[in-house]
Amino acid sequence: MPSQRKRNPNGAGTITKRKDGRYHGRAYVITASGIRKRKSVYGETWDEVHRKLIDLQSQDQKGVPLPDTDSTLGDYLAYWLAEEVAPNRRPKTYQGYESVVRVHLVPGLGGRKLRDLRAQEVRVWLNRVREECQCCKHGWDKERQKPQCCAARRCCERKLSARMVQSMHAVLRNALEHAVREELIMRNVAKLVKTPAPSYRTGKGLSPAQAKLVLKELRDHRLHALYVLALLLGMRRGELLGLRWSAVDLERGTLTVLTNLQRVGGELRLVLPKTRSSERTIPLPPLAVSALRAHQERQAQERAAAGMAWQENGLVFPSRIGTPYEPDNLRRSWDPVRKRLGLDLRFHDLRHTCITLLLDLGVPVHVVQQIAGHSDHGVTMQVYAHASLDEQRKALGRLEDRLA
């Protein structure tokens, strides 16, 4: 009797050959929306398509739904910013993410289908933008340190920093990880791409003699107490300007960091500190207590002088009428001081001075970490714990004495 033709069992899928010579496989699977749909796979050979069908059905049997979204990466990033980042992250974080998405990710990869994005595409794109001039978008001539474009006369000749490239990769990685959790894609391809770690600038810091000279120079300054806290406690600029009197206990000699002043969306806001570790209570040395008491008296005089113009916000370091102090004005108040003393330092280097001097005094790293509000002691050691030339010279001198 003639042999009967065998049929594939229900759900096993089918493989057919297309007119262009490629093979087309189809099978029914459960999608992320909960609907059973017929999905297609393609390949150059029958065996390749057969393997893809087996993988597809294996995921289905394990209960892993197949993503069925046809949205582009740009559409998904807009949804991610609105529904995930905005409600759950700090305003400053949202502002940074939104800027990276709008300026870099959407123009570069926004047109790609979310489910079709590949690690190779991400890697090639990151390599390209790393070597582009951000004005004319032409390649960078490493020998001349200029863009490879003789027509760009008004070109800014500016490359993306390694830190910016890492931020772009991090934002994309976080967005795709959320897409994986929502079962829109099977895997996070950005995790497969590695970016070079940026080299962080190590602050210079002040010597003890220079720090004393700075405090002496600012003794009559209206923000003298702020500079004392910056040097003695290593507080960040936003933490100082967002400090409230309700968080300061001069009787017990403690200070609690609970708020941070930042400019977000064109306005000054009091937000939560940078990290959970940044919320900390710090003991106040006697020098800080006396400086804050003097500052309290000076502020009472300013309040009386302002009269009806005073706007009470409970801030320790407000403007002359009680409103939040503009962070850029603090930088401007520091510039004349450092120029008079011949110092090439940022305001943030006062924080660096505090942490470095504490480490030089032999204070345990975990104690310095808590004072500085670092989330990890590795940051304390990597960024701040570096030996001065004098310390290195003493260490090598001891080695020389041992070997002599």
CA distances, 387 to each of 209, 352, 366 (Å): 17, 13, 18
Question: Distance between CA atoms of 257 and 277, rounded to whole angstroms?
Answer: 10
**In sequence order, what E strands does 248-371 have?**
248-249, 254-257, 260-264, 267-271, 280-283
Question: Distance between CA atoms of 371 and 246, rounded to whole angstroms?
Answer: 20
Q: Is the pLDDT of residue 357 over 60?
A: yes
Domains and CATH numbers, the chain: 23-61 (no CATH), 73-192 (1.10.150.130), 208-391 (1.10.443.10)
Q: Is the pLDDT of residue 5 over 50?
A: no
DSSP state letters, 305-333: HHGGG-----BSS--TTSSPPPHHHHHHH
Question: Distance between CA atoms of 358 and 199, rounded to whole angstroms?
Answer: 24
| Band of residue 227 on the pLDDT scale cut at 50, 70, 90 | very high
| Band of residue 304 on the pLDDT scale cut at 50, 70, 90 | very high
Higher pLDDT, 66 or 314: 314
DSSP 141: E
What local confidence, expressed as pLDDT, does residue 273 receive?
A: 78
Question: Distance between CA atoms of 17 and 348, rounded to whole angstroms?
Answer: 66
Sign of CA dihedral 10, 12, 13, 14: negative
397 by Cβ neighbours in 10 Å (0-12 / 13-18 / 19+) ranks as exposed
What local confidence, expressed as pLDDT, does residue 141 receive?
A: 56
Question: Distance between CA atoms of 279 and 249, rounded to whole angstroms?
Answer: 16
| Band of residue 67 on the pLDDT scale cut at 50, 70, 90 | low
Q: Give CA 78 to chain center in angstroms.
A: 19
Cβ atoms of 337 and 215 closer than 8 Å:
no
Higher pLDDT, 70 or 373: 373
| Band of residue 1 on the pLDDT scale cut at 50, 70, 90 | very low
Residue 175 phi/psi, 5° resolution?
A: -65, -45
What local confidence, expressed as pLDDT, does residue 204 receive?
A: 67
What local confidence, expressed as pLDDT, does residue 322 receive?
A: 92
| Band of residue 247 on the pLDDT scale cut at 50, 70, 90 | very high
Question: Distance between CA atoms of 170 and 323, rounded to whole angstroms?
Answer: 36
pLDDT tens column, 305-332: 999 999 999 999 999 999 999 988 888 8
Nearest-CA neighbor of 206 among 95, 337, 78, 352? Answer: 352
Q: Is the pLDDT of residue 108 over 80?
A: yes
Q: Is the pLDDT of residue 198 over 70?
A: no
Task: For residue 61, give both structure tokens.
Answer: 């049997």
| pTM exceeding the 0.95 threshold for the entire prediction | no
Question: Distance between CA atoms of 145 and 273, rounded to whole angstroms?
Answer: 39
Q: What is the mean pLDDT of residues 72-84?
A: 89
| Band of residue 175 on the pLDDT scale cut at 50, 70, 90 | very high
58 by Cβ neighbours in 10 Å (0-12 / 13-18 / 19+) ranks as exposed
Say what the alpha-carbon torsion angle 311, 313, 316, 318 is, to the nearest 10 degrees. -40
What local confidence, expressed as pLDDT, does residue 265 receive?
A: 72
Identify the weakest region by mean pLDDT among 29-33, 94-98, 250-254.
29-33
Q: What is the mean pLDDT of residues 213-234?
A: 91
Q: What is the mean pLDDT of residues 176-187?
A: 85
Q: Is the pLDDT of residue 202 over 60?
A: no
Cβ atoms of 306 and 277 closer than 8 Å:
no
Question: Distance between CA atoms of 263 and 341, rounded to whole angstroms?
Answer: 30
| Averaged pLDDT score across all residues of the chain | 81
Question: Distance between CA atoms of 309 and 194, rounded to whole angstroms?
Answer: 55
Cβ atoms of 201 and 344 closer than 8 Å:
no
Q: Is the pLDDT of residue 369 over 70?
A: yes
pLDDT tens column, 266-301: 788 888 876 777 888 999 999 999 999 999 999 999
What local confidence, expressed as pLDDT, does residue 246 receive?
A: 93
Q: Is the pLDDT of residue 9 over 80?
A: no
pLDDT tens column, 375-401: 766 666 666 655 555 666 677 777 767
